[in-house]
């Protein structure tokens, strides 16, 4: 069963001058995670806002949890949770007070709101800081609280719009752990991100969008194959270039790429760290000390270059500020 279905969505701004969505279609199977990957301006936030009933498309059709988002937005809001790019919590209140406030906005009784707040604070490892003002929280803690607030009513479908943007590596890893726990609990999740690594970590499938339309969809492995997977890269002194070309060709078994200016030899590999270890061993046998050696994983630009022939363009998305508050249900 499809928990989310979007068909032929079109959204423009400035009387049609700016096209945010251009016949975009996608779906999410119940109980799975779809990662929507794309650069700023690709249409990720516009898609989420339409599916979350915060924005109406110019044309097209969409359902969430089997409910039409245009005809019955209030019913849709009863089934979803939403966490945008920026934490929607009140910094003047404590973590506890924020969750109680959201619970009451969703028409929970005082007792039910309190019980749910206790549960969520424990789930998101925020119990010890529950009585502290939000302004004393770290960025990662604010994001976790924001995500907790979106789960007050146990939504069937959760929309996360770039949930780790602005977080340091540790904060991002913590957020990944929290999201993984939610998925194991059976929540259907649509996640937008600019990071291939994040989609790789969390998503069952990835939809790549560019200029408002889906240009590719598949598993992380299938997308990586389209950009050649990992690449072995070695940088050496000029006098060692010939020998290193032979080593890289032997380890890779594929055509090598040589950048004389950077003194770099590279080639795609399929065995990951094993290829790196083998190359290092062969270099050592020949007494060659590389200036740099490593594996390069596909980046967002690599994916876009392979799929579209151009790198991911950075441009301002028309609706780049996700509504910070959540619309309440009935």
- CATH value at residue 240: 3.30.70.100
For residue 69, what are the CA distances in angstroms to 9, 75, 146, 321? 12, 8, 23, 20
Whether 219 and 238 share a structural domain: no
> 127, 128, 110, 106: which is closest to 118 by C-alpha?
127
End residue of a domain, out of 224, 240, 268:
224
User: What is the spatial distance between Cα 176 and Cα 143, in angstroms, rounded to a whole number?
Assistant: 11
Banded pLDDT at 57 (limits 50, 70, 90): very high
For residue 139, what are the CA distances in angstroms to 117, 143, 164, 182? 20, 6, 10, 20
Give the pLDDT mean for 247-266. Answer: 92
Total domain count for the chain?
Answer: 2
Q: 181, 175 in Cβ contact below 8 A? A: no
Whether 176 and 194 share a structural domain: yes
Give the pLDDT mean for 275-296. Answer: 95
Give the pLDDT mean for 73-86. Answer: 89
Whether 160 and 209 share a structural domain: yes
Q: In this structure, is residue 49 part of a structural domain?
A: yes
pTM, two decimal places: 0.75
Whether 253 and 289 share a structural domain: yes
Say whether pLDDT at 38 is over 90.
no
Q: Domain residues for 252?
A: 230-296
Backbone angles phi, psi at 205, to 5 degrees: -140, 155
141-145, 217-221, 279-283 — most confident range: 279-283
Say whether pLDDT at 109 is over 50.
yes
Banded pLDDT at 309 (limits 50, 70, 90): low
> pLDDT exceeding 70 applies to what percent of the chain?
91
> 86, 92, 215: which is closest to 142 by C-alpha?
86
Banded pLDDT at 330 (limits 50, 70, 90): very low
Whether 208 and 245 share a structural domain: no
Strand 257-259 and strand 205-210: pairing? unpaired
Say whether pLDDT at 321 is over 50.
no
Encoded tokens for 310:
């151009």
Say whether pLDDT at 72 is over 60.
yes
pLDDT digits (tens, 9 = 90+) for 142-171: 988 999 999 998 999 999 998 887 778 888
């Amino acid at each position: 069963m499809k928990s989310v279905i979007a068909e032929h969505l079109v959204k423009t701004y400035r009387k049609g001058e700016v096209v945010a969505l251009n016949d975009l279609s996608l779906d999410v199977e119940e109980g799975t995670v779809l990662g929507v990957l794309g650069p700023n301006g690709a249409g990720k936030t516009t898609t989420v806002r339409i599916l979350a009933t915060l924005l109406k498309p110019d044309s097209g059709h969409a359902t969430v949890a089997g409910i039409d988002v245009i005809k019955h937005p209030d019913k849709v809001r009863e089934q979803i949770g939403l966490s945008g790019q920026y934490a929607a919590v009140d910094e003047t209140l404590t973590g506890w007070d924020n969750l109680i406030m959201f619970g009451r906005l969703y028409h929970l009784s005082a007792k039910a709101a309190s019980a749910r707040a206790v549960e969520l604070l424990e789930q998101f490892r925020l119990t010890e800081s529950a009585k502290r003002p939000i302004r004393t929280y770290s960025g990662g803690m604010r994001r976790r609280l924001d995500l907790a607030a979106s789960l007050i009513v146990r939504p069937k479908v959760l929309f996360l719009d770039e949930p780790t943007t602005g977080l340091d590596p540790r904060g991002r890893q913590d957020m990944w752990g929290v999201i993984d726990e939610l998925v194991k609990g059976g929540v259907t999740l649509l996640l937008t991100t600019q990071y291939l690594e994040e989609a790789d970590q969390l998503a069952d499938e990835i939809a790549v969008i560019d200029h408002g339309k889906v240009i590719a969809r598949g598993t992380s492995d299938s997308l990586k194959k389209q950009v050649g997977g990992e690449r072995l890269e070695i940088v050496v002194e000029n006098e060692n270039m010939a020998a290193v070309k032979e080593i890289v060709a032997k380890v890779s078994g594929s055509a090598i790429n040589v950048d004389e200016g950077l003194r770099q030899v590279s080639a795609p590999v399929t065995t990951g760290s094993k290829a790196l270890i083998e190359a290092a061993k062969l270099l050592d046998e020949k007494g060659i000390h590389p200036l740099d050696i490593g594996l390069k994983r596909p980046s967002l630009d690599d994916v876009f270059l392979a799929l579209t022939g151009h790198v991911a363009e950075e441009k301002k998305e028309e609706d780049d500020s996700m509504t910070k508050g959540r619309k309440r249900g009935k």
